[in-house]
Amino acid sequence: MSATSREPRARGRLAALLAPPLLWLVLAYLGSLAVLLLSAFWTTDPFTSDVVHTWTTDNFRDVLTTPVYRTVALRTFGIAVAVTLLDALLALPMAFFMARVATGRLRRALLVAVLTPLWAGYLVKAYAWRVMLGEHGIVNAALAPFGLRGPGYGTTAVVIVLAYLWLPYMILPVHTALERLPAHLLEASADLGAGTIRTLRSVVAPAVRPALLAGSVFTFSLSLGDYLTAQIVGGRTQLLGNVIASQVTLDLPLAAALSAVPVALVVCYLAAVRRAGALDSL
Amino acid sequence: MHLTRTARIVLGCLTAAGLALIYLPLLLVLLNSLNADPSFAWPPRALTGAWWSRARHSAGARDALWTSLRAGLGATAIALVLGSLAAFAVHRHGFFGRRAVSFLIVLPIALPGIVTGIALNAAFRTVLAPLGIGFGLFTVVVGHATFCVVIVFNNVAARLRRIAPSLAEASADLGARPWQTLRYVTFPALRPALFAGALLAFALSFDEVVVTTFTAGAGTRTLPIWIYENLARPHQAPVVDVLAALLIALSVVPVYAAQRLSSDTAGGRL
């Protein structure tokens, strides 16, 4: 097909096809990102909160040297890692059962059951947990007979709720990878004398690894950018997203410089994961 | 690999527990929308239908629902056009920078929502505001459309990959002009993908909070924004709960529709 593109007519058609989406994305999106990046180098009038167009790198210096920002960045990173690990732990047995044990109708039903909550909506699910974790909520009610109390609103709640929100994003790629694993590979492994553990380690694990990494791209970067969950169940726990959101109207240049932190983390993560070959299975 | 019976049972139990964990919060919201206690103390002492009738008469919630529908429809319409055009371009033509185009389309959902949100916010403030275009439904639609393009693009591109090129060639051999081939051969084959893409894009727009927060301005409230604003208000808690219950019940619709359309789009090509 690339041969046809060299004909002037096909080239005109390509230009007509590409122009509207490219114009939109370049103007509305890349343009906005450029404005954001630029404004990170501007400054703010401390009295009116208006953006003053004076070139400065102070915002980036503030972000790098202020201890509070470092603490929040580290906490956000830690929470994103914890959420990712928790989701991997929950997703592996579920995906394995769905792909290799359940068959036919049950498999399809399970897949639908895992997918449906994706459409229930972010806020609805975070809200459900807010009610559950509340002082008189079901978590405290269920733990009371054992003399225990739920985590309440705080960092633990943020990890639980984020892991809950992103779980389907981890189950899906792992399930797909396990489903695609040819049965004769597993049989060959058994024929060659490998036990279950050895087969899991030498045949299943290499197939699942890129899928786990692909899922982790979602769980990790969605957690890094999140700020609503922290506001809904986080108590006083602040993530990078919360700090950025609270600065947008007060000090846009600082917010812009701060938002470079999650972007940099996501880009680094993507680069690392890409080397491991995870992006091909996205 | 031969799993022992015990291993199968253990895996089954873990899966059942996982599913229970996934559905428990959602079922609780449904149940709480009937809980007579306005603070949803557990266990519920009495049931009531009062919150549902109160929610039905909540003007704020109704306005927000209407705004959400308009924003979703607007964003979906734009995304359908732009996403399909891009999918045709990337699929049907080899050209320099093809991978860059795919990357550019994915970027708005790959970057954290808050970055997309404040970038649009900053751009609207510096570029549109001086032109006299304030924040409102228009800016919400622009923001939503930007990240919905990728959904339509993915669905249409996946379907285009699977339509045999020989079909279009046969159509041309039989004397059809390119427009006729598009209308009678390609479009019917694409229809389920377009429908699924539109459905997913609409659902994504309908659920979006972060980008909306930064592009809506003071007077424009979508349903998620309204829910978010009333989340911490004890007086509004029952209405919020009814809306949440309603959204949970409605979430079955897109999954069912996507399942019916085709197996490969069922999961939603996010």
Spell out the domain ranges in chain A.
9-35, 68-222+267-276
Q: Element (H or E) spanning A44, and its range?
A: strand A43-44
List phi, psi (to 5°) of B177. -75, 160
Nearest-CA distance from A67 to chain B in Å? 22
- What's the full length of chain B, in residues? 270
Q: Phi/psi of residue B47, each to 5°?
A: -110, 150
Q: If you measure CA to CA, which chain B residue comes closest to A184?
A: B1
Tens-digit pLDDT profile for residues A145-198: 998 888 989 999 999 999 999 999 999 999 989 988 888 888 888 888 887 788
* Residue in chain B lying closest to A189 (CA): B1
Distance between CA A110 and CA B61 in Å, rounded? 34
- Distance between CA A48 and CA A51 in Å, rounded? 9
B43 cis-preceded (ω within 30 degrees of 0): yes
Taking the Cβ of residue A197 and every Cβ of chain B, the question of whether any pair is shorter than 8 Å is answered with no
Contact between B211 and B117 under an 8 Å Cβ cutoff? The reply is: yes
- pLDDT tens series, chain B, 270 aa: 667 888 889 999 999 999 999 999 999 988 888 888 877 777 777 788 888 888 888 888 899 999 999 999 999 999 999 999 999 998 877 778 888 888 888 888 888 889 999 999 989 988 888 888 888 899 999 999 999 999 999 889 888 888 877 888 888 888 888 888 888 888 888 898 899 889 989 988 998 999 999 998 888 899 999 999 998 888 888 888 899 998 888 888 877 777 776 554 444 444
Q: What residues of A are in contact with residue B213 (Cβ under 8 Å)?
A: 245
Contact B2 A190 (CB under 8 A): yes
CB contact, 8 Å: A190 with chain B? yes
ipTM of the modeled complex: 0.84
Q: Please, what is the end-to-end C-alpha distance for chain A in angstroms?
A: 25
Q: What average pLDDT does the structure give for chain A?
A: 87
Site from A23, A116, A124, A250 to mutate, B interface, most B CB atoms within 10 angstroms: A124
Closest-CA residue of B relative to A181 is: B1
What is the C-alpha separation between A114 and B114, in angstroms, rounded? 27
Lookup: tokens for B250: 């409605």
Task: Compute CA distances A227 → A55, A222, A250, B45, whole Å.
Answer: 29, 10, 17, 34
Rounded Cα distance between B20 and B34, Å, is 21
pLDDT digits (tens, 9 = 90+) for A197-228: 888 888 888 888 889 998 998 899 889 989 99
Contacts with B, A 58-97, CB within 8 Å: 90, 93-94, 96-97
Please tell me the distance from the alpha carbon of residue A129 to that of residue B29, in angstroms, as a whole number: 9
Q: Which fold has domain A68-222+267-276?
A: MetI-like fold (1.10.3720)
Amino acid sitting at position B246: L
pLDDT for B270: 45
Contacts of B122 in chain A (CB under 8 A): 32, 35-36, 39, 252, 256
- b/e sequence A202-232, b meaning 16+ C-beta within 10 Å: ebbeebbbbbbbbbbbbbbbbbbbbbbbbbb
CATH number of B65-260: 1.10.3720.10
Q: What is the dihedral of CA A89, A94, A96, A97, to 10 degrees?
A: 150
SS3 content of chain B, % helix, strand, coil (to 5): 75, 0, 25
Q: Which residue has the tokens 């149940």?
A: B31
Give the Cβ contact number of residue A195 at 10 Å. Answer: 12
